[in-house]
Amino acid sequence: MELFRIRKDIPFMKHAIVLNAISLITFILAVFFLTTRGLHLSVEFTGGTVMEVAYEQPADLESVRKVIESLGYADVPVQNFGTSRDVLLRLPVQAGQSSGQQSETVLAALKAQDPTVALRRTEFVGPQVGQELVANGLKALGLVIVGIMIYLAVRFEWKYAVSAIIANLHDVIIILGFFAFFQWEFSLAVLAAVLAVLGYSVNESVVIFDRIRESFRRQRKMSTPQVIDHAITSTISRTIITHGSTQIMVLSMLLFGGPTLFYFALALTIGILFGIYSSVFVAAAIAMWLGIKREDLIKPTGKNEGGPDDPNAGAVV
């Protein structure tokens, strides 16, 4: 399915050096902010108190959030849990206060606003649990990266696997760099978004690599940069349809999903935009610089391919 077709190939690889230099600068800045500022980790990672309260009527989350902020808690996740009457709160650790004291103070403030509120449960998430989540999250990220490399190496060739992984890590580090620079809360939902971006970005890379392989087979007189330009140009319509529809859905979550989905949708938005960019300019360019050629993807069928002994010589592909 195509919205339009571009007849003349766009010379993407002509600007590959400049665009990858911009990517490198952005990547270095992201690493710098991650190193100097670090991530603003949520309660799941740092430890804290989790409270579940219930109202007789559907809860006004904005009013609950204002009450929590009046107690000195900033950016505390306040979300419905199960039904519209149940509210889940995640309170960070405060110096000089135990988990029980925190929950009593918060419950008293909520009761002052609405006497019908009742405490369903309260539990303390210790730092040890947070460390386990960090370790498991890093393991999940590592397994995803290894799996992608194996898949691409088997389906295409090792040069494509290396270029795709570099491009995917480029996306992940830049997302984390945004969260470090603006000190947005990094939660389990954001980690899930980062893992989703990895899969999403590699899907775009696979589509482009597949079209490069097809172009190598059909366009035998083109040079490698020309083949890559032709492959990327021929996928633009598909890219606009796929990513445009996905971005509309993610933007709807970002704008109308409320605080619960905001950072999740924000991470996806950044990841989708940079995923398109990295698949076209980073992955394809690195594959070109690694020296991909027609023989990497299409193995000769005879000793003298293209010569008199080649059964495919003269065939129209």
CATH number at residue 116: 3.30.70.3400
Same domain, 20 and 69: no
Q: Which residue has the higher pLDDT, 166 or 4?
A: 166
Cα–Cα distance list, 114 to 1, 18, 164, 214 (Å)? 55, 59, 54, 65
Same domain, 153 and 25: yes
Is 7 within the bounds of a domain? no
Same domain, 88 and 178: no
Q: Which residue has the higher pLDDT, 312 or 119?
A: 119
- Tell me how many domains the chain contains: 2
What pLDDT score does 315 carry? Answer: 40
289/12 Cα distance (integer angstroms): 14
Residue 289 has pLDDT above 60, yes or no: yes
**Angle between helix 236-256 and 224-234 (nearest 10):** 50
Is 314 within the bounds of a domain? no
Is 6 within the bounds of a domain? no
Same domain, 289 and 174: yes
Domain boundary among 81, 110, 125: 125
As given in the structure block, the two tokens for residue 120 are: 């369903």
Cα–Cα distance list, 24 to 29, 36, 171, 176 (Å)? 9, 18, 11, 15
What pLDDT score does 300 carry? Answer: 56
Q: What is the CATH number of the domain that holds 278?
A: 1.20.1640.10
Closest alpha carbon to 264 in 48, 42, 33, 93: 42
Same domain, 176 and 232: yes
Same domain, 170 and 264: yes
Is 311 within the bounds of a domain? no
Is 55 within the bounds of a domain? yes
Domain boundary among 87, 107, 125: 125
Same domain, 168 and 286: yes
For residue 29, what are the contacts with CB-CB under 8 A and spacing of at least 6?
177
Same domain, 153 and 35: yes
Same domain, 281 and 167: yes
Is 202 within the bounds of a domain? yes
Query: Which segment of 29-33, 62-66, 197-201, 275-279 scores lowest on mean pLDDT?
Result: 197-201
Domain boundary among 84, 110, 125: 125
Q: Is 196 exposed, middle or buried (0-12, 13-18, 19+ CB in 10 A)?
A: middle
Same domain, 140 and 251: yes
Is 308 within the bounds of a domain? no
Half-sphere exposure of 270 (CA within 13 A, CB side): 19
Residue 251 backbone phi and psi in degrees, to 5: -65, -35
Same domain, 88 and 154: no
Same domain, 238 and 216: yes
Q: Which residue has the higher pLDDT, 15 or 316?
A: 15
Residue 317 has pLDDT above 50, yes or no: no
CB 173 within 8 A of CB 195: no
Is 286 within the bounds of a domain? yes
Range of the domain at 121: 48-125
pLDDT tens column, 49-59: 889 999 988 88
